[in-house]
Each structure stands twice: as structure tokens, then as C-alpha cells.
Chains A and B, each alone.
Chain A
Amino acid sequence: MKPFSYTRAESVRDAVAALMANPQAQLLAGGTNLIDLIKYDVAEPEAVIDINRLPLKEIVELPDGGLRIGALVSNSAVAYDPRVKQHFPLLSSAILAGASPQLRNAATTGGNLLQRTRCYYFYDPASPCNKRDPGSGCPAIGGLNRIHAILGASDACIAVHPSDMCVALAALDATVEVEGPDGAREIGFADFHRLPGDGPDRDNTLRRGEIVTGVRLEANHFAGHHTYLKLRDRLSYAFALVSVAAAVQVADGRFVEVRVALGGVAHKPWRDPLAEAEFAGAPAGEETFIRLADRLLAGAEGRGHNDFKIPLAHRAIVRALRQAVSGHPQDQTVKAIQ
């Protein structure tokens, strides 16, 4: 850990100004990821800007039936909010599949979006890592990589995004609201996180000085037919090896719409809307589930230890679609997979 200055922002403008004043400044919300990174000497901010006093703690109903979740609403508050549970149960379920009650109480909506990707080597400052130290190399390739990416990886980085909440937000086509030196703007969820390409040091598309102020959800028709299925190395308190957020609309035994977002498989929550679109109108049955899984994983590539994730993801997609179509979402308090 390196010494840093600590200041408290009293307004979003304050926070933006503090970020602009020092390129090595970082925002502190719940701290559940940043503090770990600081302790491991992975993050070495010169200035820590505490944003916990900013007025971003409300969940507001929108006229179209959607919700706007402030960036500082805790993961627990989102998961147990009656409006979220009623209209966006997929989001509630995904949050409850992650971390522990203590962490969910501290972690915030904005912070969850900004979790760093997961990799043994990224967390170990003595190892080379293109994300920590651009150009130094990626020892996960050819090294220990059973938790790593099978989709959208590059030769520079095969780390995975660890969030459960974001997988649900990807499936729900959420919008991220941000504010920066040039004012407010919106980023579609699919565009918020990035694939590593040749610049894995950047996890997202925020511009310098920008801060996440909230996440917006539009009303949808998925409340009855969705699931969040998370597979991991132990039954709780572990990052996903593979997770699937599925949201479907079925009429007369056929898909009107099918959305599948995957966690634990890529540098960002993975979605392929073009592939999904091909299945609109297809019979909502086992054969379609398998074809859709084939299609979503067509480009999947293992790196050795993580080869098993390809068949595991395939089976998880099929199971999740079965759960979603049947209207029996995975219960996160039951550790048996339904």
C-alpha cells in the first residue's frame, strides 16, 4: 500500500473536478474492490475521492415503468427493493448470487460496474500483466487459466469480468448514466465494458473525469420468464466459472424474444444480440436451446485449463433457457441447481 490523499466530494461536480485535477485519482464508494487492490499494490492511487456523500442513493420509478438506480444504492438495497423484485427479478437474483451479505451491503451499483477484471496474475504485482503494466506480457496465456476467458479474449489479456449484477444488466439492456467535464451522457450497457483487444488496461469506455451516476432500466416483459444460473467452484462466495442470465418472451410455444448474457467467460458480460435475433420465432424447446448455445459459443476458444468452460457454458445456457421458458427461475437460496 502506498500513501494517498483522501478527500470527500460533496457534489458530482466536485468529484469530476477532483478526477480532472489528478490523473492518478480514484473514486471510493463501497470500497469492496478498490481497497483490496490498494492492499495488494495493484491500485496505487495518489488521491482517493470518497463519493459516499453524493446524492445518488435513490431508486426512482420512471414514467414508462422503468427504474433509475442511483450509483450509490447498495447491492443489497437493489436486490431487496420491492420494485426491483417485482419488475426486474432477474437483477435481484443475479445480485443475490454474488459475494456475501456483508459485501453486498457495502458494494454499490456504480462500483459493481467498475470492478476490475479477475486474474491471478493481475492481482500479483510481481507478475507481468498487460492490464497492470501495458506491454509486460500475459502470463495467464500458457499459465494458470482455468478461470479465464473463452470469448472475446486477445493475445494481450484473457481476464474475465467478475460481476454477477452486470450480467443481468446486460441481459436487460440497461443504460449507464455518466457525468463528466463535458456534462452528462448515456452509455448503452453493451458499450460500457470493453473487450481487451490491445488495450486491456482499460476495462470500460468511461472518459477521463467521468463518473457513473446511475443505471436506468426500461420496462420489459421478462418478469415471468427469466433466470440467473451461476456455476462456481463452491456453492457460495466464489466468482462464476460460468453464469447465464436468460430473459425470454414466449408466445404459442415460440420465442418472441430471447436474450442470453454470459458471465465468467469474457472481459465483459457477454451478449450477442445478432445471434439472439436469429432465434426469434423459433420453437422454445430443447432443440432450439442447443442450437442457440452452439451459436453463442461458436467463437469460443479455450486456453488449456479453461477448456472445460466451453461445454460447461453450453450446458448452462441450455439449462438456463429451460428454467426461463418454464417460468422457474433459479432460486439463489437453494444451492441445488433446478
Chain B
Amino acid sequence: MLNQSKTVGLPVSRIDGPLKVTGQARYAAEHFGPGMLYGHVVSATIATGRIRAIHTAAAEHFPGVVKIYTHDNRPKTAYRDSRWKDAVALPGHPFRPLENDRVLFDGQPVAFVVAESPEAARDAAGLVQIEYLSEEPHTDIVAQRHESYEPPVPRMKQFMPPPPRGDAEAAFAAAAHRVSADYVLSGEHHNPMELFASTVLLGTDGALTIHDKTQGSQNSCDYICGVFSLDPGKVVVKNSFVGGAFGQALRPKHQLFFAVMASLDLNRSMKVEMTRQDMFYLTWRPSCIQTVSLAADAEGHLQAVMHHAVHATSRHEDYQENVANWSGLAYKCENVKISYEIAKLDLATPGDMRAPGAATGMTALEAAMDELAYAAGIDPLELRIRNFVHRDQNQDKAITSKALHACYREGAARFGWAERSAAPRSMREGDDLVGWGMAGGIWEAMMSKGEAKVRLSVDGSVTVSAAASDIGTGTYTILGQLAAEAFDCPVDAVSVEIGASDLPKTGVEGGSWTAATTGSAVQAAAKAVIKTLLTHAQSMENSPLKEAKVQQVEIAEGRLVLESNHQIGVSMVDILEAAGLEAIEEHAKVGPDMLTMMRYASYSHSAVFVEVKVDEELGIVRVTRVVSAIGAGRILNPKTARSQILGGIVMGIGMALHEEGMIDHRTGRIMNHNLAEYHVPAHADIRDIEVIFVEEDDDMASPIGVKGLGEIGIVGVAAAVSNAVFHATGKRIRTLPITVDKILQSEAV
């Protein structure tokens, strides 16, 4: 029914861009109110043990200090665990700041200082002295891999391994070509630019307006209403702008708890901003060790796939992500055995970080596929094509769409893969060894439940609202485009209201489902507005649309017209005026189609091609070229879409070559907790990146045909880089990141 106006599918610049580049977009820490107090968190410097004593006298006497909170004087909060569980909570016990004297991880908040200025709070925090009774920490996933267990309570049913099929061990033993190896990933830290911050503005009537750095304003709101037993009608959480998050801000963080706690206790507005160092203790991608065993017949057809993964979790919660199941559905194979366990470490609870699980698991699977290609003497791309599968064998379901063949074909053509010489160390340029590697990526295309409101005013302006978040992804823009398409108006005639908990119900922004979910809700609400318009138009005297059905009309140039003949119609202004209305507002609710979901699985796919140049003598690696071909359904905005994939690729290069939380396992402490020593790619590390979107027409993935783009860009990138390093050097480095020491110290095959 919606007309095919030119808005959707065009590279529209971000509608929030001017606000951001002129500094008018205010982030969580950039709001102020009268009488505001400031808090600073004191973090533990041991990984496990107890607090014997906290000496706060010196800090209390520091000028400007209002109050210091510890586990001895923390105000009362909810008793039951269920009240502390946010929408993304995990099996186990949610962390409760300042609950008791127990230290569970390095960086745990152990005291909270409130003062009249941020400087006083920070300085006084430095005067709080803590005596610990330290215990021996266990923080090394490789050392603890045998202490692992199957999560007794699954976080999500689909994270649990599918039942084994066939007889993987026997098939492995009998196969012509076999590879089996361990792959290790160090813990990674999200480190978005914006630090965690919460500003609580106390209203005269006791109402709270909270600006929080979060990927879900309603999740934060529900959490604090639960923990502090607040009336949800008196709390609004806003996250109008979010300076990056990558999954780190899915769950409410300590600063929100502390800001609200102190605001209620002291009856003052409060602001708490965490430090860069704190960011290393607030959710991380878990360190993981995986064993992948693959076997193929002489022609390269997979005979057995076995994937065992063990990743870190904390003492108090069972974090889980889908690491290994991808191995059961990426390629055609009848003999599959997947197992998945977690191991408790004395570290903060890990969490979702861009393509959680897939980024880790596909890195191992796709490196193993490369090893198998060499074992079988088959081109790595050809090996994948030979094992292409059209069905999700894990769930025994059809797939809504899978343009992966086109990704392979178009990506390979742009990259020039056909020119590759197979042997390692066979391509050179001066002192550099040249390596070409590739890998595939998968992510589940998800749509969740969501709502939206659309309002059409008599002046022709359109307002879209939903409690969605834009974490830098372009949500504002694509929602504006969808509404502009529905009402055939310019994008700048649409106001997009998102980022507040009092807007129509929306889940957290994560899992790549926001565009599919909120976009579909906006489309549904727009349809409802048009339906109402038609009803009013039909009650007008001599209405030319008397006999029209809603499926036959659309909006064109400010008029409700027949799709088949734009001459026949009524102006929207006339309809509203005749009905005596200022505006029409409709609310819509969408969710995944259960019948489709029973029969189909839906995934986005990618094929990533990478060129590296490695100085042969010195072992320095440069990623000189990346081509990523993506099949992710309908692309609403090629500009923001490309940006999402570029960001994923850069993060994948970081995963392959740079990122590593360095823990001193003697103390269990992260020692490179700053951006000088925790490396992410610098500009110089990023060269040519080309993103290709292959066409996928898929109205089963979501009503608007969107599959989501937040995660797929990173999946497979690290494997493609490590495969390229192997092709260049003949060195198979299975512990990421691939740093110069590992290159120098490993032997070429």
C-alpha cells in the first residue's frame, strides 16, 4: 500500500547530524539542574576477597563532600533478586552495588562519594582508604577451562547447543581430510567514546527525569523503579543521544544506581560519570577457548563438524552467548556435535559486545575452514561454495533468504580473488609478504515486539515516536525516511521522537533488531493513520474516495489518492478540516510472526575478503584492503548502512590485530585499562574498505524487509585477517590478537 517514494533506499544524511557536529546534541552527562550534586565511585583494587575496613574520615572532611556511602550505610533497596533483574539480566544473582563486604571482581564499586562539585567528589574518593582480605584470584580462561560447566539455566533456549546429529566422531575418524585445533580469544572491552553517565534531575513534585547512557530507556526506568520501589509514572529516563555503546549499555550500570540512590537519599539532583578506567569493568566480551574439529571427504564435502566452546563468566551470574551453534548451520554437514560451557572467573560479568557469540565462534570456525581448505588442497572460497546449505540444519527449518552465493561472487570479483595463488608465502611485494584471506559471517535476523506512534498534523507535518534508541546507528534517520515515504513528504518534514521511556514501548537497542522492529511499527502506525484519513475522507460530501479500499489508496503530494489514478483524491488538509481535527494520531504494535518463525529461520550473511601485507623480516602486519559483501535484506539507507558495516570491519580488524584486555593473573587485575595501552585500530591501520550490499527481497524477515546491520559487519572479519596472515606468512596464529611477538615466535608450516 505504501507508495514507493524516493526516500527509503537513498543515502540520506543523518537528520541528527547537524545537532551532533554543532555540539547541540546533549549526552547523558551534559544536562544540568539547580542544586546538583556530583558522585564519584571508588572501585576495588583486588579481584576477590573481603573488605576488612573502609576508612572514610579523611574523605568526609574534604571540603565540599556531602556524604560517603559504603556497604555499612547504603540506603535500603529491594530485597528480592527479581526486582534487580533488568530486561537483559542473566541467570544468577544480579550485582547489587555496596551490598556487603564481599569483593567479586577487580573494579567493583566499593564506596560512593557525593560532593558539591565533581572535582571534590573525585579528590575525596582518592582519600578513601580500604583494607582488604585478599583471596587467590582465578582469571585465566585457559587455566580454568577444565572447571567449566553447562549453564544450568539457559539465558535463551537458542543459545543451547542443538542435539548432536549423525556420528561426528566416527565420521571424523574416517574422513580423508581432518583438522582440529584450539582457538583462544582474549577478553575485549567495548570502549565507546561516551563514558557511562547518569544525570538525575529532581522535579518539585518528587518526579525524576534521568538522562542515562543506555541502549534502552525503558529498561533503565523499569530497573530503578524495581530496585527503589518507585512509581513508574513519576520517572522518565531519557537517552536522546548515545555516544556509541556496542552492547555495553544494554544493561543498567552502577552509575545509574548510585545517581538515583543518592538523589533519593539526599533529595537533590545528582550526576555521576564513570571514568575511562571504569569502562573496563562494566561488561566485556568474554575470553574464550574453543576447539574446532572439521573433516571432509576427498572432494571437500564436510563429513564432520565438532565445536566445543568455553568462555568466561563471573562468580555471580551465568553470562551466555551463542558461540558455537553457528558451526551447525553455516555449512551442509550431517555429522555435527556442538558443546558449550562457561567457567567462573573472578572478573566482572561479561556481556554482549557487537555480534556477541558469533564474532567469537565464527572466528574459530572460519579459521578452521581455512585450515581445512589447505589440508584438502581446495581454494578456501571454493570449499565454502561446495558446502553451501539452504536450510538451517540445527533447527531443521527453511531459511527466509540467503544471498550468500551472490556475496561470494560479487565480493570475490571486486577483490580479485581469482588472481590469488594458493600457496602460503607465494605472493610478494618488495620486503612484504602479501596474503589474501576470506571468511564468511552469519547473524540471526531478528525482529522483536515493538510499538510506535505516528501523528499527522493539519500543517502537513509528521511526528514519529517510539522509545527506541539511536546509539550512533542511524535510527533517527531511517524512521524519518520510513515516515517520509508513507506520507510522501521530505524527511525534514518528519519529527522523530525517540530516546525517552515515556514513548511507545520498545525493547533495548541491540541484536540488530531495531530497524526491523521499530521501522515496522512506524510503517504499521503510518498505515493506520492513512486508514483513518480514508475513513474521514469517505464521510466528506461527494468524496471521490467513497468506494476506495484502504489497499487502493496512498499519499501523494499532500493528497490521499487512488494508487491507480493520482487525479482522484482529496487533500489531507481538507480531510482534517472537514473532520474538525488538528491531527490524526495512531499507535501500532508489531512483533515477529509466529507462524513464519515456526517454519523459517532468518539470517544475514556476509563474505569478507582481506589483503594483508606482512614485513617478512619484522613481522609487522598491515591490513591494506577489505571487501565485505553483505546480504541483509532491504537497505533503508545505504549511507548509514555502509557506516555500520565499516565500523564492524574496523572493530574486526581490532579483534584480529589489537584488542586484548591484559590481566595480571597473580592479582586478577586488568592492567591496560586505558586507551594508551588497550589498543584499537588507529586511522593509519585502516586502508581501503569496500562494502557491497547484495540484493535480498525478504518480507518474511520483517514486514519492511529489513534484517539488521549492527552485528553482521564484524562477523568473520578477524578470521579473514588471520587467514590472510597465514596465506602471507605460512604461520597459523590461533590466539588473538595477532601481535608481532606471536608472528616472530611461531613457525611457518
Contacts and interface: CB of A to CB of B under 8 A. Distances in A.
Contacts of B745: 307-308
A142 B664 CA distance: 10
A336 B666 contact: no
Given A319-B617, A335-B622, A238 B126 contact: no
Interface stretch (A61-69, A106-114, A185-193, A228-236): A228-236
Interface stretch (A8-16, A71-79, A168-176, A310-318): A310-318
A1 B682 contact: no
Interface in B652-680: 657-658, 662, 664, 666-667, 669, 671-674, 676-677, 679
A235 B684 contact: yes
B538 interface: no
Contacts, number: 95
A298 interface: no
B123 A3 contact: yes
A123 interface: yes
A160 to B, nearest CB: 13
A1 B122 contact: yes
Contact of B741 (A121, A239, A305): A305
Given A143-B664, A308-B745, A312-B744, A337 B123 contact: no
A238 B679 contact: yes
B61 to A, nearest CB: 13
B119 interface: yes
B740 A144 contact: no
A329 B326 CA distance: 49
A124 B431 CA distance: 40
B255 to A, nearest CB: 18
A144 B744 contact: no
Contacts of A335: 622, 684
Contact of A238 (B622, B666, B682, B744): B682
Contacts of B739: 233
A274 interface: no
A121 B671 contact: yes
B432 interface: yes
Interface in B703-749: 739-741, 744-745
A120 B662 contact: yes
Contacts of B669: 124, 126-127
Contacts of A237: 682, 684
A151 B24 CA distance: 52
A305 B742 CA distance: 10
Given A41-B126, A337-B620, A234 B662 contact: no
Contacts of B49: none
A241 interface: yes
A146 interface: yes
Interface residues of A, number: 38
Interface centre among B430, B613, B744 (most CB of A within 10 A): B744
A307 B617 CA distance: 17
A167 to B, nearest CB: 17
B740 A235 contact: no
A235 B622 contact: yes
B681 interface: yes
B157 interface: no
Interface in B630-667: 657-658, 662, 664, 666-667
Interface string B345-385: 00000000000000000000000000000000000000000
Contacts of B45: 126
A2 interface: yes
A316 B618 contact: yes
A299 to B, nearest CB: 20
B740 A312 contact: yes
B618 A312 contact: yes
Contacts of A197: none
Contact of A315 (B613, B617, B681, B741): B617
B677 A120 contact: yes
A1 B120 CA distance: 10
A305 B430 CA distance: 30
Chain B interface category by residue count: 35 or more
A121 B666 CA distance: 13
A231 B618 contact: yes
A241 B617 contact: no
Contacts of B116: none
B690 to A, nearest CB: 19
Interface in A285-318: 305, 307-308, 311-312, 315-316, 318
Interface in A114-136: 120-121, 123-124, 126-127
Contacts of B676: 239
Interface string A197-240: 00000000000000000000000000000000001011111110
A163 to B, nearest CB: 14
A246 to B, nearest CB: 15
Contacts of A147: 677
Nearest to A235: B684
Contacts of A124: 669, 671, 673
A306 to B, nearest CB: 8
A185 B664 CA distance: 44
A327 interface: no
B44 to A, nearest CB: 9
B123 A1 contact: yes
B163 to A, nearest CB: 42
Contacts of A336: 430, 432, 613, 615, 622
B683 interface: yes
Given A143-B664, A311-B744, A236 B672 contact: no
Nearest to A36: B676
B685 interface: yes
B119 A315 contact: no
Given A311-B744, A312-B740, A315-B618, A337 B682 contact: no
A139 B45 CA distance: 15
A308 B618 contact: no
Nearest to A311: B744
Contacts of A41: 126
B232 interface: no
B91 interface: no
A147 B679 CA distance: 13
A146 B617 CA distance: 20
B685 A235 contact: yes
Nearest to A126: B45
A321 to B, nearest CB: 13
B119 A146 contact: no
Contact of A144 (B123, B617, B664, B681): B664
Contacts of A121: 671
B619 interface: yes
B674 A123 contact: yes
Contacts of B430: 336
B657 A337 contact: no
A126 B128 CA distance: 13
A312 B619 CA distance: 9
B744 A139 contact: no
A3 B658 CA distance: 36
A1 B124 CA distance: 9
Given A2-B126, A139-B664, A337-B620, A234 B741 contact: no
Contacts of B681: 234
27 contacts: A1-B122, A2-B126, A41-B126, A120-B672, A123-B674, A123-B677, A127-B667, A127-B669, A127-B671, A139-B666, A139-B667, A146-B741, A147-B677, A233-B658, A234-B658, A234-B679, A234-B685, A235-B620, A236-B685, A237-B682, A238-B679, A307-B745, A308-B745, A312-B618, A312-B741, A336-B615, A337-B618
Interface of B: 45, 119, 122-123, 126, 430-432, 613, 615, 617-620, 622, 657-658, 662, 664, 666-667, 669, 671-674, 676-677, 679, 681-685, 739-741, 744-745
The 7 closest A-B pairs by CB, nearest first: A236-B684, A126-B45, A308-B741, A235-B684, A120-B671, A237-B682, A236-B682
Given A139-B664, A139-B666, A235-B622, 12 more contacts: A1-B122, A2-B126, A120-B662, A139-B667, A235-B620, A235-B684, A236-B685, A307-B745, A308-B740, A315-B617, A336-B615, A337-B620
